[in-house]
Amino acid sequence: MNEEIITPPNNHHSILSLVFGILTVVSFCTGMVPLPFTGFICFPTSFLFGTLALVFGAISLNQIRRRNESGSSMAWTGIILGGAIFLCLMCMIVAVASLFIFSPNSVPMPPFIENFSI
């Protein structure tokens, strides 16, 4: 009558994917705070955390399938959080680059950059 239910172990990479996904969201939202230089620190950090969440999530899903482990929901959550913020950052980079490319006169430039040409 004492039957033990054996559950498969959690994949460690899926836990890392979830943690990096949460850190991605936290660092991205912290970059939106109107304090000086938070964007210069938090946006590259969230880019790094988002990349790590995507990589560890993909690795963990492969390992979960091969080793019959649990933790796929944590891996998918890390992939979705990291991927969504990664996509937001890519859209921000494209928007800022297109602002400089298609309407360079609308952005006030410092004097040392005005004479620079590509």
pLDDT tens digit string along 15-45?
A: 999 999 999 999 999 988 888 888 889 999 9
94-117 pLDDT, tens per residue?
998 888 888 877 767 777 666 666
**Could you give the number of structural domains in the chain?**
1
In a domain, 106, yes or no: yes
H and E: helices and strands count for the chain? 4, 0
The per-residue DSSP string of 85-117 comes to: HHHHHHHHHHHHHHHHHH-GGGS---HHHHT--
pTM assigned to the model: 0.81
Q: 2 in a domain, yes or no? A: no
Give how far the C-alpha of residue 63 lies from the chain's centroid of Cα atoms, to the nearest Å. 21
Whole domain around residue 80: which residue ranges? 12-114
Tell whether 7 is covered by a domain: no
Asked whether residue 70 is domain-assigned, the answer is yes
